[in-house]
Chain A
Amino acid sequence: MQLTERHKQYWNINLRITGILLAIWFVATFVMGWYARELNEITFLGPLGFYMSAQGSLIIYVLIIWYYARYMNNLDKEYGVHEGELE
């Protein structure tokens, strides 16, 4: 089937949100990891660099996935590409 402009717009928005969330994931993992020693100078529930890798980044991951599911569900409905009422 031929895709409409609206379909293309939906995909572009999907790519954008995917990119943004991926950037957050990257910072929470690799930037935090790279500067773990420096972050350890700050104290938040123990040394921050250690805390982030043991717990903080994990919470960010859960939130990223939660937000993506919610955002995409709304986007599906807005652009009329959602599946029937199954829930």
Chain B
Amino acid sequence: MATQTSSHKQFLANLKRYYTFYTGGFVAFVVLVGILEQMGVPNKILGYMFLFATIALYAGIGFMSKTSDVGEYYVAGRRVPALFNGMATGADWMSAASFIGMAGTLYLSGYDGLAFVLGWTGGYCLVALFLAPYLRKFGQFTIPDFLGARFGGHLPRFIGVVAAITCSFTYVIAQIYGVGLITARFTGLEFEIGVFVGLAGILVCSFLGGMKAVTWTQVAQYIILIVAYMIPVVWLSVKHTGNPIPQISAYSTALPQVTALEKEFNDKATVKGAAEETVRAIFRERAAVADAKLKGLEAGKDAYLAEEKAKVAAKVADLKAATPPADPKAIEAAEKALKDFPVDVAAAKAAWTKDKGIGARAAPVKAHAEPFPATGKTPEEVEKNRSIAKKNFLALVMCLMVGTAALPHILMRYYTTPSVHEARVSVFWSLFFIFLLYFTAPALAILAKYEVYSSLVGSSFSALPAWVSNWAAVDKTLMSISDINKDGIVQLAEIVIGGDLIVLATPEIAGLPYVISGLVAAGGLAAALSTADGLLLTIANAMSHDLYYKMIDPNASTIRRLAVSKGLLVVVALVAAYVTSLKPGDILFLVGAAFSLAASAFFPALVCGVFWRRANYFGAVLGMTLGLGVCAYYMYMTYPFFGVNAPKWWDMNPIAAGTFGIPVGFLGVIIGSLITKAPSQEIQEMVDNVRYPSLDGTVSAGSAGH
């Protein structure tokens, strides 16, 4: 024991030294790129440098961690210290959606967006209290392993495999999408090529060394992503408020001013409010015109369409024949309108419905800090809508939290610590490192809003800030701005911002050089790659370890098991990249769906498995199937994508389908267990064994070599 203790300490000390050197080296690299920028090296080259240097770094770590030992491959040899497992979990957890999307979501939806902040942090309380220490004591390789051992028989394990693959695959598509997007944006490569370049980085790492390589790469990725996130935000905070702590300055200085400006924009009696009103009036008018056309179309069908087309054609003719000659631009615009005129009734309906949607931009500014804003024609209706909003907010928070405590790629990480105690401490470090980013995102959203409301609004169209014109030129979906009311001054209603802009443009808003933009892209890439790594490994392990080794060929040799696992990893990665390149539906919904599905399938069975000795085979099978079934059924019935659009149950949005799946899952486990006989003595003893870190004073090393 004494030698083990000192070697563990030595290992920890070495790790700290390596990663300190590594961080120093990375900072030196950033400084070097900064110097190159000052020397006039073009931005595109700098972008490539960041992309290839970081991917080469991850590949290098992956190569150094190559292994052919099963315990090393599946659970990193169970010697990852709490602190480092915390960082690895942080990187595993924080995806492209957290890094790039979170602050933007908060910018656009204010308080309502906080459901994600709360859900994705508070879930770790459930991990700490209900799962991590017990899973570590159990000490196998995967989550289906626990289900298989605790409930006996192949069926619980098999359902676990299906659920693990379903939710991890849904989630990994969102990650690879993020990888492609970032690579494309910062290097100018095609989206599809970007996907495969990123994929190469993912594979080189996990292919050679499995969990061991993924763990040490994720630690490196965490360091890059947190540095990349913090630098621009701190700078922005200093610039605006003189306070280097954005998490304080945003609330004490920026938020009151944002709130005051929101009131001003909505008050027609003020100068700014009156200007906003002129823009909104134009939007309302356009929406009304579109609405009238839609009604006409409904009544007159093809005849009405022909009539409208004739009007547009007449306008072109009038303009051309006018004396004095009309403005050539006006003629061009009229000709374009004629050329783009909808070809049939269906196209016209789609186009005009879209035009009518512009009316939404005439709505008053939403108050950033107001929870559950609601509108309605009568006070009762407002109250009713508000209570629906509140209910959905809290339900979403719950689904995200329980889902956090049920996603296999996260739970699996707690198998890798050296002991139960370290597993508990490790959850603390995990949340701490995640918290660093998640409590900065709301502050960044407020600071960015303050910049837009106070500097951009009211500035002149002839002298827009550089970051606005740059981004408007790059991507209209992220930044689009036009002088609707032709007064030459920017009004808030004239700006449309895409959520992802907030993080991507922060370095420029803060007036930092391009090197920091490159750093932010590297951070986003690290976030997406690390999560994709963990997810792909989970899927490949579920198939190779649970399906192949445990269920199909229990006599397979170690070499064969690892070969199968690595082969599957490549196949899964390629399939995932292929599906991603098809650009399937709504990414945010996919992510939310993964959480609700995981929460309904795993959480009840896992928790009952530890805390209720009486839970048995039939209970687990019933609970998992019903939970997963109800959740998937509700999503299918209510999510517009599937086209069923059945009435919602208690006005619950499909993204929070776990609200029904989780309780049904618990009921299934309880009823199923009670109507069949108690589990065997052997299994009950296993439950006892899992509940105590050690019944004989030794560290349970798990069965790393078996």
A binds B: yes
| Given A11-B691, A81-B693, A81-B695, A46 contacting B428 (CB threshold 8 A) | no
Query: Would you call B419 and A86 a contact (CB within 8 A)?
Result: yes
Proximity bits, A62-87, B CB within 8 Å = 1, else 0 = 10111011001100100011111111
| Given A40-B369, A50-B111, A86-B422, A69 contacting B427 (CB threshold 8 A) | yes
Query: Would you call A80 and B248 a contact (CB within 8 A)?
Result: no
Contacts of B114 in A (CB 8 A): 50, 53-54
Contact of A72 among B111, B121, B369, B424 (CB under 8 A): B424
For residue A4, give the distance in angstroms from its CB to the closest CB of chain B: 10
**Interface check B700, CB cutoff 8 A:** yes
**Interface check B256, CB cutoff 8 A:** yes
**Interface check B652, CB cutoff 8 A:** no
For residue B702, give the distance in angstroms from its CB to the closest CB of chain A: 12
Query: Would you call B699 and A84 a contact (CB within 8 A)?
Result: yes
How many residues of chain A get a CB closer than 8 Å to chain B's CBs?
A: 48
Instruction: Kindly state the separation between the CA atoms of A12 and B694 in the bound complex, as whole angstroms.
Output: 16
Binds A, one of B125-133, B222-230, B293-301, B501-509: B125-133
Query: Would you call A29 and B401 a contact (CB within 8 A)?
Result: yes
Proximity bits, B251-285, A CB within 8 Å = 1, else 0 = 11001100000000000000000000000000000
Within B681-704, the residues touching A (CB, 8 Å) are: 685, 688, 691-700
Query: Would you call B692 and A10 a contact (CB within 8 A)?
Result: yes
| Given A62-B432, A68-B424, A50 contacting B369 (CB threshold 8 A) | yes
Contacts of B688 in A (CB 8 A): 1, 3, 7
| Given A33-B397, A34-B390, A61-B431, A69 contacting B128 (CB threshold 8 A) | yes
Contacts of A64 in B (CB 8 A): 125, 128
Within A2-35, the residues touching B (CB, 8 Å) are: 3, 7, 10-11, 14, 18, 21-22, 25, 28-30, 33-34
Instruction: Kindly state the separation between the CA atoms of A2 and B579 in the bound complex, as whole angstroms.
Output: 53
A-B contacts counted at CB < 8 A amount to 170
Say whether chain B's binding surface is mostly helix, strand, loop, or mixed: helix
Contact of A61 among B125, B370, B419 (CB under 8 A): B125
Proximity bits, B400-419, A CB within 8 Å = 1, else 0 = 01000000000000000011
For residue B243, give the distance in angstroms from its CB to the closest CB of chain A: 12
Within B420-439, the residues touching A (CB, 8 Å) are: 420-422, 424-425, 427-428, 431-432, 435, 438-439
Query: Would you call A22 and B424 a contact (CB within 8 A)?
Result: no
| Given A46-B369, A61-B122, A84-B699, A73 contacting B424 (CB threshold 8 A) | yes
Instruction: Kindly state the separation between the CA atoms of A48 and B693 in the bound complex, as whole angstroms.
Output: 40
Q: Which residue of A is nearest B391, CB measured?
A: A34
Query: Would you call B698 and A84 a contact (CB within 8 A)?
Result: yes
Contacts of A14 in B (CB 8 A): 691
Instruction: Kindly state the separation between the CA atoms of A30 and B369 in the bound complex, as whole angstroms.
Output: 18
Binds A, one of B1-9, B56-64, B156-164, B345-353: B1-9
Query: Would you call B129 and A22 a contact (CB within 8 A)?
Result: yes
Of B4, B129, B425, B694, most A-chain CB atoms within 10 Å: B129
Q: Which residue of B is nearest A85, CB measured?
A: B5
Proximity bits, B562-573, A CB within 8 Å = 1, else 0 = 000000000000
Query: Would you call B421 and A73 a contact (CB within 8 A)?
Result: yes
Instruction: Kindly state the separation between the CA atoms of A84 and B4 in the bound complex, as whole angstroms.
Output: 10
Contacts of A47 in B (CB 8 A): 255, 369
Contact of A18 among B118, B129, B697, B700 (CB under 8 A): B129
For residue B197, give the distance in angstroms from its CB to the closest CB of chain A: 35
Query: Would you call B118 and A57 a contact (CB within 8 A)?
Result: yes
Instruction: Kindly state the separation between the CA atoms of A82 and B431 in the bound complex, as whole angstroms.
Output: 24
**Interface check A58, CB cutoff 8 A:** yes
**Interface check B596, CB cutoff 8 A:** no
For residue A30, give the distance in angstroms from its CB to the closest CB of chain B: 6
For residue B516, give the distance in angstroms from its CB to the closest CB of chain A: 25
Q: Which residue of A is nearest B689, CB measured?
A: A1
Query: Would you call B248 and A81 a contact (CB within 8 A)?
Result: no
**Interface check B49, CB cutoff 8 A:** no
Query: Would you call A29 and B397 a contact (CB within 8 A)?
Result: yes
Contacts of A68 in B (CB 8 A): 128-129, 424
CB<8 Å pairs between A and B, sample of 16:
A7-B688, A25-B125, A25-B126, A28-B122, A30-B394, A40-B370, A40-B371, A46-B251, A46-B255, A51-B251, A58-B435, A65-B128, A69-B428, A72-B421, A81-B694, A83-B697
Q: Beyond the given A28-B122, A34-B394, could you list 7 further A-B residue pairs with CB under 8 A, ordered by the A residue number?
A: A25-B129, A29-B122, A55-B251, A58-B439, A65-B427, A65-B428, A86-B699
Point out residues on B near A: beta carbons under 8 Å.
1, 4-5, 8, 111, 114, 117-118, 121-122, 124-126, 128-130, 133, 247-248, 251-252, 255-256, 368-372, 390, 393-394, 397-398, 401, 418-422, 424-425, 427-428, 431-432, 435, 438-439, 442-443, 685, 688, 691-700
